[in-house]
Each structure stands twice: as structure tokens, then as C-alpha cells.
Amino acid sequence: MALRFHDSKSTLQLIFLAVVLSPASGNFGGGGGFGGGGYTPPAPICPAFKCSAGEKPVGKVDHQLWSYGCKDSGMSFLNAASFDPNNPLGGMGKQNAPLDKCCVERDICKQTCGMTSQACHDTFQKCQKKVCKGDQNCDLQAMMSEIMSEPYEPEEEDKDAKYDPDKVKCRGYNKGQNASCTCVPTDEWQSATEGKLKSFYKKFNPEKLDSDGEIKDLADVWKKWKGKEPDMFMALATKYKAKAVEIRVKPTPAPYKPPKDYKPPKDDFKAPTPPTPPPRRSRSYDDEETSYKASSKVEDEEVVEL
């Protein structure tokens, strides 16, 4: 059963589903539990960026790499590994800092023209396993970061469209590739790739350029990376991520608004009218006194008979 969320409560709903359903579905290794093999969901299979016939994709020179990171994934629990009796709450959130590196590198991959969704998935899985080392809290943070890192696109959301889980999984990857790739004629592709590399070195490592602004040892670069150009740019951006990647704050989704033609269902239920209680008979003090005397007389007669 596919679930779809529209309102501002969706974050809490996703958190609940992640915690309750994922262990049961086997997203955590070791027979469906948290502590076996870490967070290991299947890789999304997303379509690659395509160009028209006679053209090839190349990375845009002016694209700014950015990431939400995963410092604010929204969940952190105390566990034995992070518990300090001298500072009981000190372990809360400590897992986020090293895991943030994995989230940034995952987003670099999604925005590196030519990288596949499988490669970006594997990059994150390898990094989070190295960082978490089986720690349950860290594994949960990794799972939540995958959910919370997806971009929010209110202008692109079609509320009437059928929910497609595969499309949702590829949303971040597709957005990154569309933003970072451009198409050039095939015979201009190599020079465009060199221009992209030259621009990167000029910004983040000018020592790689000679006095004329050209790439040093360009022949050696092509010898090492020919056919693996996306991996080269991915490796460079990862190495210089402190300078090259802009960390952004994820915007808060607007409250859900129903469609204009939405009409709330009619409430035909009517509660039954409770029966009217009978009127209470008012009693005077004289009535109570007479009743008491009559009752006392009966009791006296019963005593005499015994």
C-alpha cells in the first residue's frame, strides 16, 4: 500500500514509519534488526541525463554544489555507546557530525554530471557503514537523512498525480543532474570537459594551472581519467568540499491546502435525543417527619412481636 503525505505532519509520519516499518522490512541488516549490517536499502534505479543525437552531457562550469547535509535529520537517541554518566545528555546528536560528511558527499555525487544513481547510493552506504560501525543510533540517523534530504518542490508537486515511489526516490538525483549537466556537440565535448576542470582548479587549487592559466600535465590527466570523467570531478569536489560545497538550510514546507474544488463530506449523523426524566416530587419537612414516625412505629411493633 502506497502512502502519500501532503500536510505539515508528514515529517512526523515519515519518522514513525521509518522506525516502525523499516526494521520489519529488512532495511537494517542482520535479519531485519538495527544492529546486524547497518542501513542497507536497495539502490534506486534512476534514468541518466540524456542529450539529443550528436550531443554529449558535460558538467556546467557555473554550477554551485550545495547540500542540506544531515545535521538536522531530526532524530537522535541515547544508547550505550554514547552514554556518559557524567554528562547523561551529552551523547544526544553526537552521531550527526561524522555522518554529515556522508550526506554531503552523497549530494556531491547527485550533482556531478554523469554519475549514476547506483554509484551515489553505494557512496553513501560505504561512508555510513564506515562511520557508524554498527551503532544503532547512527544507522537510524542515516536512514532518516535519506528521507529528510530530498528537496521540497511545491511548484512541481501535482497533488492529483498517482503516487510513484520510484519517482520520489529519484527526485533528488534527477534534480541534481538536471541542474549540473548541459549538452554540447560531441566534437566539442573534450574541450568543454577541460574547460570545466580548468574552472574548478582556478577556484579551488590554482597551483594546478600554469602561468598561462592552462592545466599542468593535461596529458597525464586524460591518461588517468579517460572514460571516468564523472569519477574525476566527483573525487575533486569531495576533496575540496569544504570550499566547493555550499551548505544550505532546508526550507519548511508550507501547510497543506486542499484543492479548490474540495468539498468536505456531509455529516448526516444525529445523536439520539435522551429521554425526558420524570418530574421529581417535591417533599416537605412535614412529609419527611410523618414518614419517619410511621417507620418508627412499624419497627416498634416488630420488636414487640419478637
Does residue 270 lie within any of the structural domains? no
Span 46-105, pLDDT tens digits = 999 999 999 999 999 999 999 988 865 544 444 445 555 565 545 544 545 678 899 999
CA distances from 305 to 291, 292, 294, 299 (A): 22, 20, 17, 10
Does residue 67 lie within any of the structural domains? yes
Does residue 289 lie within any of the structural domains? no
Span 4-61, pLDDT tens digits = 444 444 444 444 444 444 443 444 444 334 444 555 788 899 999 999 999 999 999 9
Cell numbers found for residue 207: 597551483
What's residue 153's pLDDT?
Answer: 56
Does residue 8 lie within any of the structural domains? no
Instruction: Using pLDDT thresholds of 50, 70 and 90, give the confidence band for residue 272.
Output: confident
Does residue 294 lie within any of the structural domains? no
Does residue 255 lie within any of the structural domains? no
Does residue 57 lie within any of the structural domains? yes
Q: Based on the structure, what is the number of domains in the chain? A: 1
Long-range contacts at 3-11 (CB < 8 A, ≥ 24 apart): 3/163, 4/163, 6/159, 6/256, 7/255, 7/256, 8/253, 8/254, 8/255, 8/256, 10/253, 11/74, 11/148
Does residue 230 lie within any of the structural domains? yes
What is the span of the domain harbouring residue 228?
46-82+90-154+164-247
